[in-house]
Structure 1
Amino acid sequence: MTTLKKLNSKYPNKTVFITGAASGLGASFARLLAENGWSLHLSDINSSGLEALKVKLKEAREVHIYELDVSDKLSYQRTVEAIQKNTSVVDLVINNAGIGDGEFFQDYKPDLWERMIQINLIGVYYGCHHFIPWMINQSSGTIINIGSAAGFMNAPGMSAYNVSKAGVYALSDTLYHELKSKNIHVSVVTPTFFKTNIMSQAQGSQAFVHFAEKQMHHSTTDAEEMAQTVLGQAANGKFHIIHPKEARRAYFFKKWFPSLVSRQFEKMMAKFLRKR
C-alpha cells in the first residue's frame, strides 16, 4: 500500500513489535503491516485475542505472539528475551497498550490512579527502555507512542488519564530530540475519541464511561483509518501526529483560544454534576 511505501523502503527487514495488539488500534496496525509483508511480534494481556488475530494475518512474513501485561516489569523483560530469540532486528515499535477511565479526582481511588499510570505511562516507558538500546545498536528504528488529546486538553473528570497521556507526550518529545542524531525516529499520536474498545477495562464512574462511549459511537473515524494515518505520517518523519480532525480542532482551540475551552469545560462540569 502507498501509505507504507516510504516506511517499507526505509526498513527492508520490516519487523515490528506492537503492544495491545489483540484488538482495536493495535490489531489495525497489525493487519495493515501484515498486508505489507512485515514480520509481526504482537503482545497483549489477552492471549486468546492474539491467537484469534494471528490466524487472520496470512499475508505477514511471520507472526509471533506474546502474552504481556505492559505494567509488569518482569513480564516485559521475559517478553523482550523471547523476542530476541526470534529476531535480531526490530525496525518499528508501537507502544499502543492503554486503558481509558474517568472520575472526579476526589472520588478516583489511589489504586486506580496507580493502575492508570502503570499501564498508560510506565508501560510506554518499558517499551522505550528495552528497545531504544536495540535500535541504537542497529543504528536505525522508529518508535510510535500512542498518547491522547487528553494529554493537552486536560478535561475535568479525567485527571489520571490526562496525566498518563501528558507523560507519554513529554517522554516522546524528549526522546525525539535525543535520538534524532542516532537515526531513530519518534512519533507521538494524540487522537480524540475514535471507534475502539479503550473503555473496556474502565473501573471509574459509569457516567464518564457512558460519555466516552457516546463520543466513540458518534465518531466518523475508526481504528483502520487511524492506523493508516499514523503509519503514513510516521514514515514521513512527523513527530506530533494529531488525528482525526476533531483532535486538530481541539489542539488549535487549546493553543489559541484557551478561554473558550475553559468555558466549555465549565459547561461539562455542570452537566456531570446535574447527573450525580
Structure 2
Amino acid sequence: MKNLEAKTVLITGGASGIGKIMVRLLLERKAKVIIWDINQEKIDETIAEFAHKGSLTGFTVDISIVDQIQATALKVKQEIGIVDVVINNAGIIVGKYFSEHTTAEISKTMEINANAPMFITKEFLGDMVYQNSGHICNIASSGGLVSNPKMSVYAASKWALIGWSDSLRLEMKQLNKNVNVTTIMPYYINTGMFDGVQSKIPILDPEAAAFTIIKAIENNKKMVTIPGYIYRFTRLGQAIMSINVFDWFAGDVLGIYKTMEFFTGRKK
C-alpha cells in the first residue's frame, strides 16, 4: 500500500465537490495538498476550513488554457517543489443533444475533460520519471464506457480520457518506471454537477466516492469503476449482446438512456 504521508498531492477542481472531500481525506493522511481551481473564493473557503489539518496551498488556474497550466505548474515547482501525486479531477458537462451544442461548448468540454489532464500530467510527469516514483489519478466517468443521450460530448471527452490514461499506465510499465496510473470511472455522483438526473441505479454518495478514489491510489489500482459492477456489466454486456439487445437492456431495463431527460446541472 502506498503511504501518502508527506507526499505532495496536486488536485484539480479541489475547492468543491468530491475534490474538496479528497482534499480533506488527503490532509487526514498527512499529505501536503495543492489545490488547483478556477474559483478563488472557493479556494479561500477550502483553505480556511481545512488549513488546521495540515499543509494546504491553492492556485487559481483555468485549466482550459494551456499557458495558464504551464505558468502555474512552474510556480508550483518553484514555490513548493516536486509533485508526487496528480489527481486530475476537474470536469464539466453540458447536458443537451449534440445538435444543440455550440462550438464553444464542444471545445470547452474537450479542453477541460480530455486535453487538460494530458497537459497537466505532462508538466509533472518528467520529475516523477526522473525520481522513479509518482502517481497519476485520472477521474473519468462511467459515461466513458456506456453511450448516453444528452451526454455525447461529455462521453467523448471521458472515452478519450480513459484511452489516454490507461495507455500512459502501459507506457510507464514498458519503460520500467515506478509511476502508477489509476483510471477512475464513477457513476453519477451527488455533488450538484448532475442535478436533475433520475436514475434506477443509485446515485453515488460523494463521501464514499472520494474515499474509494483515495483508497484506489493507496492500493495502486489500475482501473476502478464506482460501483464496481459497472465495468463488468458494460464489458460483458457489450461482448455477449447485440447492439439492439444491449440498447434494450441499458435503455429500457436499466433506464440509463433516460437519466439525462431532466438534467439541470449545478446552479451557477
Instruction: Look up the match of 2:266.
Output: none
Q: Comparing 251-260 with 163-172, which one deviates more in the overlay? A: 251-260
Q: Say if 1:22 and 1:49, in contact at 8 Å, map to a contact too.
A: yes
Amino acid in the other structure paired with 2:93: G
The alpha-carbon deviation at position 156 of structure 1 amounts to 2.1
Residues 76 and 87 from structure 1, CA distance in 2 versus in 1: closer, same or farther, beyond 3 angstroms? Answer: same
Instruction: Look up the match of 1:247.
Output: 230
Find the partner of 1:71 among 36, 60, 64: 64
Instruction: Look up the match of 1:125.
Output: 118
The alpha-carbon deviation at position 254 of structure 1 amounts to 3.9
Q: Say if 2:11 and 2:19, in contact at 8 Å, map to a contact too.
A: yes
Instruction: Look up the match of 2:172.
Output: 179
The alpha-carbon deviation at position 221 of structure 1 amounts to 2.7
Give distance in 2, aligned partners of 1:45 and 1:264.
Answer: 39
Q: Say if 1:141 and 1:184, in contact at 8 Å, map to a contact too.
A: yes
| Matched positions, count | 255
**Structure 1 residues without counterparts, runs of 5 or longer:** 1-5, 200-208
Give distance in 2, aligned partners of 1:163 and 1:114.
Answer: 12
Instruction: Look up the match of 1:235.
Output: 218
Q: Say if 2:36 and 2:60, in contact at 8 Å, map to a contact too.
A: yes
Give distance in 2, aligned partners of 1:139 and 1:242.
Answer: 27
Instruction: Normalising by structure 1, report the TM-score.
Output: 0.83
Residues 174 and 113 from structure 1, CA distance in 2 versus in 1: closer, same or farther, beyond 3 angstroms? Answer: same
Find the partner of 2:205 among 217, 222, 226: 222
The alpha-carbon deviation at position 37 of structure 1 amounts to 1.2
CA-to-aligned-CA distance 1:150-182 (integer Å, 9 cap, x gap): 111011221101100000001111100111321
Larger helix fraction of residues? 1
Instruction: Normalising by structure 2, report the TM-score.
Output: 0.86
**What SS class does the counterpart of residue 183 from structure 2 fall into?**
strand
Residue 116 (structure 1) aligned with residue 109 (structure 2): yes
**CA RMSD, aligned part only?**
2.5
Find the partner of 2:132 among 124, 129, 139: 139
Give distance in 2, aligned partners of 1:106 and 1:121.
Answer: 21
> Where in structure 2 are the equivalents of 1:1-276 lying within 5 Å?
6-8=1-3, 13-180=6-173, 181-199=176-194, 210=196, 212=197, 214-215=198-199, 219=202, 221-245=204-228, 247-248=230-231, 250-251=233-234, 252-257=236-241, 259=243, 260-264=245-249, 267=252
The alpha-carbon deviation at position 80 of structure 1 amounts to 0.5
Residues 253 and 229 from structure 1, CA distance in 2 versus in 1: closer, same or farther, beyond 3 angstroms? Answer: same
Give distance in 2, aligned partners of 1:177 and 1:269.
Answer: 31
Residues 234 and 145 from structure 1, CA distance in 2 versus in 1: closer, same or farther, beyond 3 angstroms? Answer: same
Identity rate, percent: 27
